[in-house]
Structure 1
Amino acid sequence: MVLSGGALITSQALVARYAGAVETKDLFGKAAVGATKEPVSDIKGPLDILLVGIDPRDASSPPLSDSIIVVHIPKDLKQAYLFSIPRDLRVEIPPFPKGNFAGGTDKINSAMSYGSRLGNGKYDAAQGFDLLAKTVSKLTGIKEFDAGAIINFHGFKDIVDAMGGVTMTIDQNVKSEHLKPDGKTRDRRPECADHSCEHPYIGPQAEYKKGTYHLEGWQALDYVRQRYGLPRVDYDRQRHQQQFIKAMAEQALSKNVVTNPIKLDQVLRAAGDALIFDGNGHNVVDWGLALRNLRSDDMTLVKLPGSSLTSGGSYLGEQFDASAEEFFASVRNDSVASFLVDNPGFLQKL
C-alpha cells in the first residue's frame, strides 16, 4: 500500500484521511533515546523498509513475527527488491534491556516476543519490533531502517475484501491446515485443546490448486500462511507471501480501485486498521508521494538460499547459505541489480 500510495492520493481530503487512518508508533526505539519526532530528512534513496506480519493478540500474549520481509529501494527510487527472512532462522539476538532480555541465539521470530516484554505479564508489539529490527540489522549489516510497519494479518484480509478480492497465480497445490472449504475454522482434536499438538485439526480442508484465481480475503490470507505439507516448507511460504504483496500492489493500482471513491475509501479505512507505521518522522502519505512512480512491475522478488540446521537428529531451525552474505553486501552497497545479473538463481519465480 505504501509503494502504491502515490496513485491513491487524489485530493487534499483524501490525503488527510489516508495520513490519519494509519496508526503511527515509534518502532525503532528512537523516542527512548530522545530523538526528535520531526522528519529526519527528505525521503531519498537508497531506502530499506522492514515489514513484519503478526497475528492479532491481546496485551497479555507475546507477539510472534510470522512474516519478516525487507524491501530495498535503490538510490534512483525506480525499483523495489523484496526478500524474506525465514521465521525459523537461527540467529544471534542482541541484548535488549527494555525487554529484560540478556541476548542469545534463537529462532528469529522469537526476537519480537523477547523484546515486547513490559513486565507484569504485559507485552507491546511496537517495542518488540525494535528488538527484531536490531536483530535483522545484525544479520544483514543494514545499519538502520528508513521505515517499518507491523501488519495485522486479519486486517490485511479486510484490505483485500475492500478491494474486491485479489487475483493471484497459485504455483503449487496447497491444502489448508487451518480452514474448511467454506472458510470456517477446522475442528480441533479433543486431545489438542491445550494447543500442544503440531497438527491439531481434523476434517475437510480448503484447497488451493495451481492456476490463476481471483481470491477473497480469507482465501488469499489462508493460502499465503500455509507451510505444512509444502516441499520447501517456510521457503515456499515466503515465495507465496512475496507474490501476494506484488498482487496486492497491482490490485491497489487497478482502475476499479483508484477511480472508485467508495471502494477507495473502504481500502484506506481497512489499511488504517491493519497497519502500525513508523516512517522516521514522515507519514505514510509522504512515503506514498516519494515512491509514487513505482508500480508492481518494478517490484523484484528475491529468494535467499538456505537449509535446515540439525544437531543429533534434532531440528534447530534454518540457516542461510554463505552466498546470502554476498547478497546482503549488495544491499548495503546499493548494487542489488548488478548482483542479480551475476546471480540469477536469487530471482524468485513468479
Structure 2
Amino acid sequence: MHGVLRVVVRTTWIALSAVVLVAAGVAWTTYREVDAGIRRSTAIPTDAPRSSSGTTVLVMGLTTRRDLDGGTPPDDVLDALHAGDVDRGGYNANALIVLHLPAGAGGAKALSLPRDNNAPLLGIPGGPQRGKVKEAYGRAKAAVERTLPTTLDPAEQEWLGREAGRRAQVETVQALLGVPIDHLAEVSMVGFHHLTEALGGIDVCLNRATADPHSGADFPAGPQHLTPAQSLAFVRQRHGLPNGDLDRTRRQQAFLSALLHRLRSEGPAALGPVAEVAKHNVVLSEGWDVLAAVQGVPGVTFTTLPLVPEDEPDAGPALRAAVTAALRPSGPSGPGAAPSPIPCVD
C-alpha cells in the first residue's frame, strides 16, 4: 500500500480528476486495474517536443454535459448539474491547468490559465483562428466532425472529434505559454458530478452566506458538508461573488484542499468508490503512468496566470513571463507552503 501522496492540484476542479486515482495512495493492484480501464488519448504525437526538466501535463475541464461517447445523461443527472440542457455550453475547455512535475527533488508547479485570454487558436482544420483560449477544443472538434462520414458510429465520431479538440487545445496552450506539453488529462462537467457523487460530497467553509440561481448555489456561512450536487454548484458559482471568476477559482482551490484533507485523514478507503467511476469519465494520455509521475513529489506550488486585457495585441509575452517566474525553484516556505486543510472562502 502506497502512503498518502501529497500531490493534488487545487487550482480548479479538473485537477481532481487528473490525479484522483493516486492522491490517496491507492493499493498497487487497484491502481493498475483502474489505470488499464481508463480511456487513453493519442492526441499528443510521440515525436512532439518534450519537457527537458520533468513532465508537463495539460489538465482540461470541459463544459460539455455529454458523456465520453456523446450520450445524454439521465434527467436526474442533468437536474443535479443545474446547467441547462445537454447541448448548452458546447465543448469549451473552461478549466485549463498546466501541471509541471520536476525530474528531480522538489515540488510540482500548477499554473492555472484563465479561460478568457485571447490567443491564436492552433490545430483547427482550415488554418489558425483567433479567439479565447478555451475555444480551441470545441472549434477543432466541430471542424473535424464536418469531414467525417455520416455512416460512422456516433460514439466513434464523438471520440474522433474530441481527439481533434485535444490536439488543438494542446497546440494552442503550448504555443501561447511557450512550454512543451508531454501529457494531458480531461474530464467533463458530468464526469466531475459522477466523481463527487462517488465521494459523497465534501466539507467546505464560507465566509458569508451566498446564493446564485445560475449555478444552483445556496449556502449559509460557516463550515458545512456539501452533497454531490451542491459540490458542483460550489465550484461553478461566479455570479454574486465579489471577484467573479477569480473567486470561483478560490472556491475550486478550497474544494480540492478539503478533498486532500479528507484523503489524508481517511486513507485509501476514501478513494475506493471513485475508482470505477474514473474509468468512464476520465481521459489520460496514452502511455502516461500517473503513479510513477507523482510518486515522491513533496507538494505543489499554485499560481494563477494573468488575464491579459482584450485590447492587448498579443497576450503571449505577458503569459510567458508569468510562466517563467512561476516555474523558478522556490523553497518550502515560499508559495508552495501548505494551505489550511479547509480554508474559508467567499
- The TM-score with structure 2 as length reference comes to 0.70
Alpha-carbon distance in structure 2 between the residues aligned to 1:130 and 1:170? 38
Quick one: structure 1 residues 168 and 21, their matched pair in 2 at CA, closer, same or farther if it must change by over 3 Å?
A: farther
- Could you report, residue by residue, the CA deviation over 1:36-65 in whole angstroms, capped at 9, with x for unpaired residues? 8xxx99x99522111111123338965111
User: Counterpart of 1:66 in 2: which secondary structure?
Assistant: strand
Equivalent pair of 1:53/1:66 in contact (CA under 8 Å) = yes
Alpha-carbon distance in structure 2 between the residues aligned to 1:80 and 1:21? 26
Give the equivalent residue in structure 1 for 2:257: 246
- The TM-score with structure 1 as length reference comes to 0.69
- Match 2:128 to one of 92, 99, 103: 103
- Match 1:269 to one of 273, 276, 279: 276
Alpha-carbon distance in structure 1 between the residues aligned to 2:140 and 2:208? 36
Alpha-carbon distance in structure 2 between the residues aligned to 1:241 and 1:6? 17
Give the equivalent residue in structure 2 for 1:335: 328
User: Counterpart of 2:330 in 1: which secondary structure?
Assistant: helix
User: Structure 1: which 5+ residue stretches go unaligned?
Assistant: 181-205
Give the equivalent residue in structure 2 for 1:195: none
Task: Tell me which amino acid in the other structure corresponds to 1:281.
Answer: G
User: Counterpart of 1:139 in 2: which secondary structure?
Assistant: helix
- Could you report, residue by residue, the CA deviation over 1:133-180 in whole angstroms, capped at 9, with x for unpaired residues? 1111111110x2222111122222222232232223345654233355
- Match 1:219 to one of 221, 227, 230: 230
- Match 1:8 to one of 15, 25, 47: 25
Quick one: structure 1 residues 76 and 89, their matched pair in 2 at CA, closer, same or farther if it must change by over 3 Å?
A: same
Quick one: structure 1 residues 218 and 230, their matched pair in 2 at CA, closer, same or farther if it must change by over 3 Å?
A: same
Matched, 1:140 2:177: yes
- Match 2:320 to one of 319, 322, 325: 325
Matched, 1:228 2:239: yes
Quick one: structure 1 residues 321 and 138, their matched pair in 2 at CA, closer, same or farther if it must change by over 3 Å?
A: closer
Instruction: Between 79-88 and 206-215, report the one with greater CA deviation.
Output: 206-215
Task: Tell me which amino acid in the other structure corresponds to 1:24.
Answer: R
User: Structure 2: which 5+ residue stretches go unaligned?
Assistant: 1-15, 72-85, 148-156
Q: CA deviation at 1:105?
A: 1.9
Alpha-carbon distance in structure 2 between the residues aligned to 1:291 and 1:276? 17
Highest CA radius of gyration, 1 or 2?
1
Matched, 1:67 2:84: no
Equivalent pair of 2:177/2:316 in contact (CA under 8 Å) = no
Equivalent pair of 1:52/1:66 in contact (CA under 8 Å) = yes
Give the equivalent residue in structure 2 for 1:79: 107
Alpha-carbon distance in structure 1 between the residues aligned to 2:177 and 2:218? 36
Matched, 1:120 2:156: no
Q: How many correspondences in the alignment?
A: 288
Q: CA deviation at 1:247?
A: 3.0
Quick one: structure 1 residues 265 and 93, their matched pair in 2 at CA, closer, same or farther if it must change by over 3 Å?
A: same
Quick one: structure 1 residues 11 and 135, their matched pair in 2 at CA, closer, same or farther if it must change by over 3 Å?
A: closer
Once the two structures are superposed, the pairs formed by residues 12-31 of structure 1 within 5 Å of their partners are 12=29, 14-28=30-44, 30=45
Quick one: structure 1 residues 302 and 267, their matched pair in 2 at CA, closer, same or farther if it must change by over 3 Å?
A: same
Instruction: Between 99-108 and 320-329, report the one with greater CA deviation.
Output: 320-329
- Could you report, residue by residue, the CA deviation over 1:76-128 in whole angstroms, capped at 9, with x for unpaired residues? 3542322222221111223x2xx424212211111111221323386522320
Equivalent pair of 1:46/1:77 in contact (CA under 8 Å) = no
Root-mean-square deviation (CA, aligned residues, Å) is 3.6
Quick one: structure 1 residues 76 and 21, their matched pair in 2 at CA, closer, same or farther if it must change by over 3 Å?
A: same
Give the equivalent residue in structure 2 for 1:130: 167
Equivalent pair of 1:159/1:267 in contact (CA under 8 Å) = yes
Q: CA deviation at 1:17?
A: 1.9
Equivalent pair of 1:239/1:303 in contact (CA under 8 Å) = no
Task: Tell me which amino acid in the other structure corresponds to 1:116.
Answer: K
- Match 2:204 to one of 145, 168, 172: 168
Quick one: structure 1 residues 25 and 220, their matched pair in 2 at CA, closer, same or farther if it must change by over 3 Å?
A: same
